[in-house]
Chains A and B, each alone.
Chain A
Amino acid sequence: MAAVRVEAVLAAAEEEEAEKRRSITVEKELELEYDLGNLLAVDRNPPPAAALRGAGPRREALLRALARDNTQLLVSRLWELPAERAGGAGGPLVAQLPEPTFRLPREKPAPKPRPPTRWEQFARLKGIRRKKKTSLVWDEQAKEWRRRWGYKRAGGDPSRAWLAEVPAGADPEEDQFARLRREKRERVARNELNRLRNLARAHRAGSAVPAAPLHPTGHQDRDELRRVARVARVSTASLGRFQPRLPKEPAEPPSRSGGKKRRFQPLLGNLAAERSRQLELLRDMGSKKPVLDITRAVNKQLRAEEAEAAAANKGKKQSKRGKRGRRQQRPGRSGKKSGARRQPQQQKPAGGGTGG
């Protein structure tokens, strides 16, 4: 008796639940696709085309019913999201939306990281890092904390400086104020020039110009112009063989290998040139000065070593390691010097062999 009652009670409860849920359940053939991050729902069911063809209020009612069903489904999904009460117990119920999944095109292309400037390259090579500077400096004269630069800076207003000392080795008649102003102008101009050069370098590197503008723009440097002139010369039907040269332009023979392989002079060519070349060679061999510039070679080697050390110690304690690394290189330095000195001595007997 009791068991039957329990079953009846449970069945009744279930029916009540179903009754309640009936108001919010919607029957659909195909499930909708949801993108809750965009509050988007896509219904793939084909709408009743025949019913919607007739114009007028019937169509509106049908559309409205369809919209109501779809909106009910979307809102049910949104209500199932994890929600909390914002701003304490009495605040509104706020749901956390997931990330939008529907892929939409961007407005602008993704930003490219700009190439490092000349100073940044040098700093990376040497292992120099930025020193954090305080924004306020103690000004003794004003007896308060002032900014390092800008409005009301610590050193006092530079335009109202009434004293400019003549430095030790300078001309007593020179106008010091004018000199200070001129130097500031020069510094500003140099700064601006370097900034523009860095920009141009970044722009050139970024755009990877294989086809440089073949008309002169007035802002190109010598190497680029030379490159462009060469390209223009070679772009004729006969590959630049019959192009007239300017009076001072050097005559370049067309090198099929691009100047990579050794080219030997013809055997019985210019006798005078051959004689002068041989005499020069003998003169160089006989002189006491080494052909190889040792200091330059050593500096080049040191720079390469420093760059290697800096690159290897990236990520670790850079500044300390840099100093220690440089200190460790000292015993190696003298070794490199002796190695450099050995080279010209090696070349001499070889040169003597070919000359003799």
Chain B
Amino acid sequence: LICCYRKPKTKRAKRFLEKREPKLNENTKNAMLIKGGNANLTVTEVLKDIYAVKKPFAVLYKRKNITRPFEDQTSLEFFSKKSDCSLFLFGSHNKKRPNNLIIGRMFDYHVLDMIELGVEKFVALKDIKNSKCPEGTKPMLIFAGDMFDVNEEYRRLKSLLIDFFRGPTVPNIRLAGLEYVLHFTAVDGKIYMRSYKVLLKKSGCKIPRIELEEMGPSLDLVMRRTHLASDDLYKLSLKQPKGLKPKKKKNISHDALGTTYGRIHMQKQDLSKLQTRKMKGLKKRPAEKSAQDGGATPKKSKSA
């Protein structure tokens, strides 16, 4: 409420506040990468690599923050409010939960979903020695495995991962710039995340042949605890405002085969004045014309 009382005195402050207020078309979601009180080397490396993938839409906090997200969410919500980030990745390590990553998202600066994942194997960006794709490339996302549809928790995890790695929504994309792909496979209770660099090779036809080169961070994850939002809160967060729906054009309908039908409303036509094709045989002969005029020839009317 203090933001309502105090009016911004500079244009810069006004722009800052306008960026953070709720809008019809929202900004790209930012992610905050936080280290827990006892984060070890593996977890720190994971956070650094994910930061490299998500730049510039991510914030990496350097210092360790002693909090437990599953017990107390106020600290996370405070950070989210301060840095205007709605996605977070919290890394920690202890004997009971080694190499722990908590991935989550916020709605209206309150925690919506949180899923705890354990990192079993991690290969960093710097371990694989090859050329990387440029920073800020929009990745292609592929999810393999029927678990992502069957299990409710996996479904939320899929939604979370898409939200996390999606990047900005763009209307056009340069086809040669599709260089980065993130592949998630759910098998046997484990989730394998692999990142590849895409090489487009010549094939006989227009569509190129794909060759993949292992590039970026690769993680073997196992799902631990979850804190999912209740159904009604989730539905509320999914609700889109009315202004976003595209305006439907009336009188236009589409066929199943792809034909577009339109309906045009005409005014009433005077059929006697309708011009049809000229057929010489149907032309009025002078005898018929005089009969129609009632015997009055045009010459006579002129003289009168």
CB-CB under 8 A for A109 and B22, given A79-B207, A103-B238: yes
Judged by a CB distance under 8 angstroms, whether B171 is at the interface is yes
Given A39-B140, A64-B194, A111-B21, are A93 and B210 neighbors across the interface (CB < 8 Å)?
no
Is the beta-carbon distance between A93 and B22 smaller than 8 angstroms? no
B208 within 8 A of A: yes
Q: Which residues of chain A have a CB within 8 Å of any CB of chain B?
A: 17, 19-21, 23-24, 37-47, 49, 52-53, 60, 63-64, 66-68, 70-72, 74-76, 78-80, 83, 86, 92-97, 100, 102-111, 195-196, 199, 203
How many angstroms from the CA of A43 to the CA of B183 in the assembled complex?
11
Please indicate the chain A residues that have their CB under 8 angstroms from the CB of B107 in the complex: 105-109
Instruction: Determine the chain A residues whose CB is within 8 A of the CB of B187 once the complex forms.
Output: 47, 49, 52
Complex: A49 Cα to B149 Cα, angstroms: 17
Question: A95 with B183: in contact, given A63-B194, A71-B140 (CB under 8 Å)?
Answer: no
Q: Are A95 and B108 in contact (CB under 8 A)?
A: no
Across-interface contacts of A17 in B (CB, < 8 A) = 204
- Give A39 to B143 CA distance when docked, in angstroms: 11
Beyond A45-B146, A105-B107, whether A94 also contacts B196 by CB under 8 A is no
Cross-chain contact B140 with A74 (CB below 8 angstroms)? yes
Q: A110-B24, A110-B241 are in contact. Are A23 and B209 (CB under 8 A)?
A: yes
Given contact pairs A19-B204, A45-B146, enumerate 11 new A-B contacts (beta carbons under 8 Å): A21-B204, A21-B205, A52-B185, A52-B188, A71-B198, A80-B207, A94-B172, A95-B174, A104-B163, A110-B22, A203-B1
Min CB–CB distance A112 → chain B (angstroms):
9
- CB B159 to nearest CB in A, in angstroms, measures 6
Measured CA separation A96–B139 after assembly (Å): 16
- Bound Cα distance A195, B7 (Å): 10
Q: Give B179 Cβ to nearest chain A Cβ, in Å.
A: 11
What is the minimal beta-carbon distance from B20 to any residue of chain A, in angstroms? 9
Give residues 178-206 of B contacting A (CB, 8 Å).
Answer: 178, 181, 183, 185-188, 192, 194, 196, 198, 200, 203-206
B175-A24 in contact (CB<8A):
no
Verify A203–B175 contact, CB threshold 8 A.
no
Fill in one digit per residue for B162-177: 1 if any A CB lies within 8 Å of its CB, else 0: 1100100111111111
- The SS class assigned to the B binding surface is mixed
Q: Which residues in B have some Cβ–Cβ distance to A below 8 Å? A: 1, 4-5, 7, 21-24, 26-27, 29, 86, 105-109, 112, 138-146, 148-149, 158-159, 162-163, 166, 169-178, 181, 183, 185-188, 192, 194, 196, 198, 200, 203-212, 214, 234, 236-241
Instruction: Tell me which of B23, B24, B173, B205 has the highest count of chain A C-beta atoms within 10 A of its own C-beta.
Output: B173
- Can you spell out 14 A-B residue pairs with CB atoms less than 8 angstroms apart? A38-B162, A40-B143, A60-B214, A68-B212, A86-B174, A92-B176, A94-B172, A97-B170, A105-B107, A105-B159, A106-B26, A107-B27, A109-B239, A111-B22
Residues on the A chain within 8 Å of B1, using CB: 203
| B5 close to A196 (CB less than 8 A) | yes
The 7 closest A-B pairs by CB, nearest first: A20-B204, A105-B237, A110-B241, A108-B22, A67-B183, A43-B144, A107-B86
Query: Contact: B163 with A47, CB < 8 Å?
Result: no
A94 near B173: Cβ-Cβ < 8 Å: yes
CA distance A80 to B205 in the complex (A): 12
B146 touches A75 (CB 8 A): no
Shortest Cβ distance from A97 into B: residue: B173
Decide: B196 and A71 in contact? CB cutoff 8 A.
yes
Contact of B196 among A47, A64, A199 (CB under 8 A): A64
Measured between C-beta atoms, what is the minimum distance from B257 to chain A in Å? 19
- B181 contacts A79, C-beta separation under 8 Å: no
Selected contact of A20 from candidates B192, B196, B203, CB within 8 Å: B203
Complex CA gap A24/B204 in Å reads 9
Using Cβ atoms and an 8 Å threshold, which residues of chain A touch B192? 52, 63
Which residues does chain A contribute within 8 Å of B163, judged by CB atoms? 104-105
Complex Cα distance, B7 from A44, in Å, reads 52
CA–CA, A60 and B236, complex, Å = 40
- Report the minimal beta-carbon distance from A195 to chain B, rounded to whole angstroms: 8
From B138, B166, B196, B208, contact of A75 by CB (8 A): B208
Complex interface: chain A residues within 8 A of B177 (CB)? 92
Which partner residue on chain B sits nearest A199 by CB separation? B4
In the complex the two chains form, what is the Cα distance from A68 to B162 in whole Å?
Answer: 19
> Quick one: which of A64, A97, A107 contacts B26, CB cutoff 8 A?
A107
Q: Closest CB-CB distance, B160 to chain A, in whole Å?
A: 9
B185 touching A63, Cβ below 8 Å: yes
Say whether B236 contacts A53, CB under 8 Å. Answer: no
For the complex formed, measure the closest distance between the CB of A151 and the CB atoms of chain B, giving whole angstroms: 13
Known: A106-B237, A196-B5. Is A95-B22 also a contact (CB below 8 A)? no
Docked pose: A52 CA to B172 CA in angstroms: 37
Out of A44, A63, A64, A75, which one reaches B198, CB within 8 Å?
A75
Determine whether the beta carbon of B175 is less than 8 Å from that of A79.
yes
Among B144, B149, B158, B172, chain A packs the most CB atoms within 10 A around the CB of B144
Cross-interface CB contact of A93 among B142, B175, B188, cutoff 8 Å: B175
List residues of chain B with CB within 8 A of the CB of A53.
188
A42 to B141: give the CA distance in the assembly, Å.
Answer: 8
Q: Is the CB of A67 within 8 A of B175?
A: no
Closest beta carbon of chain B to A66's beta carbon, Å = 6
Q: A44 contacts B175, CB within 8 Å?
A: no
Inter-chain CA distance A45–B86, complex, in Å, is 32
Q: In chain B, what residue has the closest Cβ to A62?
A: B185
- Separation of A41 and B144 alpha carbons in the complex (Å): 9
- Contacts A68-B211, A94-B175, A107-B27 known; A40 to B162 CB distance under 8 Å? yes
Residues of A within 8 A of B169 (CB): 37-38, 100
Q: Beyond A75-B210, A106-B237, A110-B22, is A23–B203 a contact (Cβ under 8 Å)?
A: yes
Contact, CB under 8 Å: A94 / B174: yes
B162: A residues at CB distance < 8 A: 38, 40, 102, 104
Chain B residues near A70 (CB-CB < 8 A): 142, 144, 183
